[in-house]
Amino acid sequence: DLKDEKQKARMAAGRAVLEKCTMMLLTASKTCLRHPDCESARANRDGVFARTRAAMEQVADIVTDVAANGEASVRALCIYSAIRDFKLNLSPQCFVQNCMSASRAGCADDVTPLLQLIVEQTEDFTDSPYTSHERRERILQMVAQAQQETFAMMSLFAKQQQCRGPSGREELDAAISRTSQCMDEIRKELHVTAVEVAAESLRANGDHALLRALKTAGADGNLELTSEFAARLHELREQLLETSQLLRHVSGMEPLEITCAHAENTFRAIGPQIISAAQTLALHPSSKIARENLDVFCESWESQLTDLAVLIKEITDVFEGRRGDKRTHLSLPRPGKHSSNLKPVKPVKLDAEEQVKIAKLGLELRLLTADVDAETEKLSSRDGGGEVTQLVQSLSSMVYAIYLFTRGEGLLKTTNDLFQQAEVFSEEGIRLCTALRTFSMLVPEEDDRSLLQVEAGRLPALCQQIQLACRTPTHGKV
């Protein structure tokens, strides 16, 4: 029973490899015994042995609690963690501490290498041949804007350190907010780009026509046609490898990051094994075991494509802060109405009339939901209202995720996840405060404007309390 989510993900990846390799090893070994002089059959079998040994070593390392080799370097390659660390260094508390310190170094200096790392990592998206021209240009513009805002923020930070006073604090806070917003926009654009590339990869492999053509060419003993289809499979494999790498950049959670790496390794290994199995069948078209062996490897490829589709949905759910449903914001249950206090309802059999009635109610609920979404879109389209709406929805989703954690459910699994979510919540709360102050200037009624400003003024203190609570060393210890 593993408690660490990263270890669970690594164990799941290792078990998946072992389960799939069980049948592969059987058919590959039989094929090699049936055709001992066939070089492609030996290469196919040796590839399965290598994957099996690597998976067993990984499982053994997890059981003996040995750190994965290169795990730190893999994490450093992911842009979501770089953006997260960058935003943590932009927290107001961090800048206040550095303004009061004697050293001119600090958060501003920590931001520079992180910014450079983010710029370098976005090149994986802009250099990808599968990224559309429009997305590539938009990413480059956003990165340039983020660099400009960061340099402006650091300049204001240096000026405030020199004056050692409260003057210019509002200007610095606004610069911090703009820089943080630039990073959020980059993260969103990269997520959309990665999902688009992944969707295109799945469409290219969706009907499995290439695998069927490869099987047919091998069964006909057509080596030339087999080589042609193998080259096309190699191209699709490269596309899937690129897709897995981009998804890992935007995975948003370390367990999903490990799952993306597992998908990449699987496509990297299965592609050549399918080709070697097809070559064996083409050399021995009447061999029943060679045909069965190719079928097993093709099924593994198709299974991994299905897993990739599920992985894309999970990454999107994490990015949007939801648990797979269409709600963008959820309300907490009223006191005394928790599901734990409700009596279990006995299942009953509905007649045809009741089923029709429930179906009509469901349709009415869907229409009402569509009306609510339309009103939300109208609010978002107004000047200044879009950012407020998005921030409120994001905060609402975070609160619901924290509530689910208290019940042992949801995406937050460990106390560390809870504290990280609380820190992000406090940062978004400060952003909401800035957005509300800007939006309040557009409110025509003076009483409503004053009330909105008063409520917005309470947010910074509350958010700072959350940050202090999360960073107190005694929290989270037994």
Judged on CB neighbours under 10 Å (0-12, 13-18, 19+), 8 is middle
Q: End of a domain among 320, 337, 370?
A: 320
CA distance 198 to 251: 13
- Residue labelled with tokens 């897995």: 244
Confidence at residue 324, expressed as pLDDT on a 0 to 100 scale: 41
Confidence at residue 69, expressed as pLDDT on a 0 to 100 scale: 45
Give how many domains the chain has, as a whole number: 3
Q: Which domain holds residue 137?
A: 79-179
Q: Kindly state whether residues 465 and 367 are assigned to the same domain.
A: yes
Which of these, 2, 7, 54, lies nearest to 255 by C-alpha position?
7
Q: Kindly state whether residues 11 and 40 are assigned to the same domain.
A: yes
Confidence at residue 471, expressed as pLDDT on a 0 to 100 scale: 72
Q: Is residue 191 part of a domain?
A: no
Q: Is residue 385 part of a domain?
A: yes
Q: Is residue 160 part of a domain?
A: yes
Confidence at residue 338, expressed as pLDDT on a 0 to 100 scale: 41
Confidence at residue 433, expressed as pLDDT on a 0 to 100 scale: 85
Q: End of a domain among 299, 320, 341?
A: 320
C-alpha distances out from residue 409 to 235, 403, 406, 413, Å: 41, 9, 7, 8
Q: Kindly state whether residues 67 and 156 are assigned to the same domain.
A: no
CA distance 468 to 471: 5
Confidence at residue 405, expressed as pLDDT on a 0 to 100 scale: 77
Confidence at residue 202, expressed as pLDDT on a 0 to 100 scale: 84
Q: Residue 10 is part of a domain; what is its CATH number?
A: 1.20.120.230
Q: Kindly state whether residues 237 and 311 are assigned to the same domain.
A: yes
The answer to whether the beta carbons of residues 235 and 174 sit under 8 Å apart is no
Q: Is residue 477 part of a domain?
A: no
Q: Is residue 59 part of a domain?
A: yes
Confidence at residue 213, expressed as pLDDT on a 0 to 100 scale: 92
Q: End of a domain among 179, 196, 231?
A: 179
Q: Kindly state whether residues 112 and 171 are assigned to the same domain.
A: yes
* 91-98: long-range contacts, CB 8 A cutoff, minimum separation 24: 91/423, 91/427, 91/467, 92/173, 92/176, 92/430, 92/460, 92/464, 93/464, 93/467, 93/468, 95/157, 95/172, 95/176, 98/157, 98/161
Q: Kindly state whether residues 408 and 435 are assigned to the same domain.
A: yes
CA distance 122 to 77: 11
Q: Kindly state whether residues 407 and 454 are assigned to the same domain.
A: yes
pTM of the shown model: 0.63
Q: Kindly state whether residues 285 and 215 are assigned to the same domain.
A: yes
C-alpha distances out from residue 297 to 111, 214, 269, 278, 282, Å: 47, 12, 11, 10, 15
- Predicted confidence pLDDT, tens digits, the chain (478 residues): 566 777 888 888 888 888 888 889 999 999 999 999 999 999 999 999 999 999 898 888 887 875 544 443 344 468 888 888 888 777 655 555 554 454 444 455 567 888 888 888 899 999 999 999 999 999 999 999 988 988 888 888 777 666 655 566 778 778 888 888 888 899 999 999 998 898 888 887 766 888 999 999 999 999 999 999 999 999 999 999 999 999 999 988 888 888 899 999 999 999 999 999 999 999 999 999 999 999 999 999 988 888 888 888 888 888 877 644 443 333 444 444 444 444 444 555 555 555 555 555 555 565 566 566 666 665 555 555 567 777 877 787 788 778 777 777 777 778 777 888 888 888 888 888 888 888 888 777 877 778 888 888 888 888 888 888 777 765 444 3
Q: Is residue 329 part of a domain?
A: no
